[in-house]
């Protein structure tokens, strides 16, 4: 399906006239000679995918790209914010940074003015032990749910899934595990009944083969009230039908949700022409990297170049996406709503900073939370 969409788009662009070839040459010339990108650690999906794209750009255009990996959200974002890196291959830290929460609620941070160029969809859901009697999200009430201590990226997604049925962490028996692997293993070990994760951790395949078995709780795309509640917690999610993973196949798909990982993220003030040229170059070299990993084909802009995402899309990316017939008026509406939220939070942060002189950290945090919530309530 994706290849058909892409072929149709290619044919439409190709019939626009001979100017396309000239525009392609100009796009290549507009790429910087060198770039620095940040990503997750070596061995991560984000690093592998960034490396495949960098290699394609190097071979096609001669652009030299240095990838700077980091195991922390601050380590990935700080070089971008400080203009020591042009782009970051990021995940949910983009949401936290634009919201001014978690690590980015500190005085030196606050809501960051970031923009997304593109980001492939990554499936995420709630696997349960098949013997736990959890058929739908509402059934998880009172059950043991495995969370990962100190991992807000995973935990906020789990809270969003609970909200689909109007539940919160207070409605379940929270079991915190010190590591991600420990949380994933807890179901097969009998220490939890459900958790929240992607579809392919090795521990889930073990669960599927264990006496308990595996069951994925679905998030039906036609449940409008459930999706409205979910997006109040995390508006960057979208319905997604997954066909790959533990207990999942083409013959046994599940309706869960998708977020964007990795996303290519830049500062808002990054040149629109430079962003346009990069998105164009990545689109034109897609065939060179689309088979680099099992999920790399999802970087097709028909999938990766549309909302929702963790931050507004960059104007340079939108220009190219609109030219390709991908970006629609509905996407414009989403982007403007997301920009309005970001501006409101930035204004609230400035008010907080103006009032925070001489206050303790605890007082500062309480003040920011007050102004932040007031800004969100005004939208």
Q: Does 262 sit behind a cis peptide bond, omega within 30 degrees of 0 on the bond before it? A: yes
pLDDT digits (tens, 9 = 90+) for 255-279: 999 999 999 999 999 999 999 999 9
- Give the start-to-end residue ranges of the domains of the chain: 2-123+260-339, 132-258
With bands split at pLDDT 50, 70 and 90, how would you rate the model's confidence at 15?
A: very low
Kindly report the CATH class assigned to 2-123+260-339. alpha beta
**Would you call 245 helix, strand, or coil by DSSP?**
strand
The length of the chain is 379
**Beta-carbon-side half-sphere exposure of residue 198 (alpha carbons within 13 Å):** 15
Give the DSSP letter string of 305-361: TSS--SSPBPHHHHHHHHHTT---HHHHHHHHHHHHHHHHHHHHHHHHHHH-TT--H
DSSP letter at 197 equals B
Bridge partners of 245, per DSSP, are 248
Rounded to whole angstroms, how far apart are CA atoms 271 and 267? 9
Q: In this structure, which long-range contacts are made by residues 2-9, counting pairs with CB atoms below 8 Å and at least 24 apart in sequence?
A: 2/297, 2/298, 2/300, 2/302, 2/303, 3/300, 5/300, 5/302, 6/286, 6/300, 6/302, 9/302, 9/324, 9/325, 9/326
- Residue 17 has what pLDDT? 41
- Residue 8 has what pLDDT? 60
Q: Does 308 sit behind a cis peptide bond, omega within 30 degrees of 0 on the bond before it? A: yes
The CATH T-level fold of domain 132-258 is: D-Maltodextrin-Binding Protein; domain 2 (3.40.190)
| Whether the predicted pLDDT of 1 surpasses 50 | no
Domains 2-123+260-339 and 132-258 in one fold: yes
Rounded to whole angstroms, how far apart are CA atoms 2 and 116? 21
DSSP letter at 368 equals H
Strand pairing class (238-242; 254-267): antiparallel
Give the DSSP letter string of 33-99: SEEEEEESPTTSHHHHHHHHHHHHHHHHH--EEEEEE-SSHHHHHHHHHTTSSSEEEE-THHHHHHH
pLDDT digits (tens, 9 = 90+) for 339-365: 999 999 999 999 999 999 999 999 999
| Whether the predicted pLDDT of 19 surpasses 70 | no
Rounded to whole angstroms, how far apart are CA atoms 119 and 313? 10
pLDDT digits (tens, 9 = 90+) for 25-69: 444 558 999 999 999 999 889 999 999 999 999 999 999 999 999
Instruction: Give the global pTM.
Output: 0.89
| Whether the predicted pLDDT of 207 surpasses 60 | yes
């Amino acid at each position: 399906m994706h290849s058909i969409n892409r072929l149709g788009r290619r044919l439409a662009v190709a019939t626009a006239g001979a100017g396309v070839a000239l525009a392609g040459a100009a796009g290549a010339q507009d790429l910087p000679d060198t770039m620095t990108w940040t990503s997750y650690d070596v061995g991560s999906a984000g690093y592998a995918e960034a490396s495949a794209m960098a290699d394609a750009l190097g071979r096609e255009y001669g652009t030299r790209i240095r990838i700077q990996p980091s195991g922390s959200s601050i380590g990935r974002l700080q070089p971008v914010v400080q203009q020591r890196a042009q782009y970051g291959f990021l995940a949910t830290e983009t949401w936290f940074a634009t919201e001014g929460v978690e690590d980015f609620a500190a005085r030196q941070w606050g809501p960051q003015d970031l923009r997304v160029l593109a980001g492939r969809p990554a499936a995420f859901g709630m696997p349960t032990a098949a013997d736990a009697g959890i058929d739908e999200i509402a059934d998880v009430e009172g059950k043991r749910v495995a969370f990962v201590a100190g991992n807000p990226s995973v935990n906020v997604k789990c809270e969003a899934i609970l909200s689909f049925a109007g539940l919160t962490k207070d409605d379940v028996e929270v079991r915190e595990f010190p590591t991600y692997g420990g949380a994933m293993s807890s179901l097969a070990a009998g220490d939890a009944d459900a958790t929240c994760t992607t579809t392919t951790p090795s521990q889930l395949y073990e669960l599927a083969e264990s006496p308990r078995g595996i069951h994925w709780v679905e998030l039906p795309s036609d449940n409008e009230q459930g999706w409205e509640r979910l997006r109040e917690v995390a508006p960057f999610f979208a319905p997604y039908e997954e066909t790959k993973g533990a207990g999942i196949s083409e013959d046994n798909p599940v309706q869960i949700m998708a977020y964007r990982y990795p996303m290519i993220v830049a500062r808002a003030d990054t040149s629109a022409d430079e962003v346009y040229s990069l998105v164009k170059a990545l689109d034109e070299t897609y065939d060179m990297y689309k088979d680099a990993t099992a999920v790399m084909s999802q970087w097709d802009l028909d999938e990766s170049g549309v909302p929702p995402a963790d931050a507004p899309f960059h104007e340079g990316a939108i220009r190219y996406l609109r030219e390709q017939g991908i970006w629609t008026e509905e996407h414009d509406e989403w982007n403007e709503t997301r920009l309005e939220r970001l501006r409101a939070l930035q204004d609230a942060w400035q008010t907080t900073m103006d009032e925070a002189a001489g206050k303790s950290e605890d007082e500062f945090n309480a003040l920011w939370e007050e102004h932040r919530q007031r800004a969100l309530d005004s939208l």
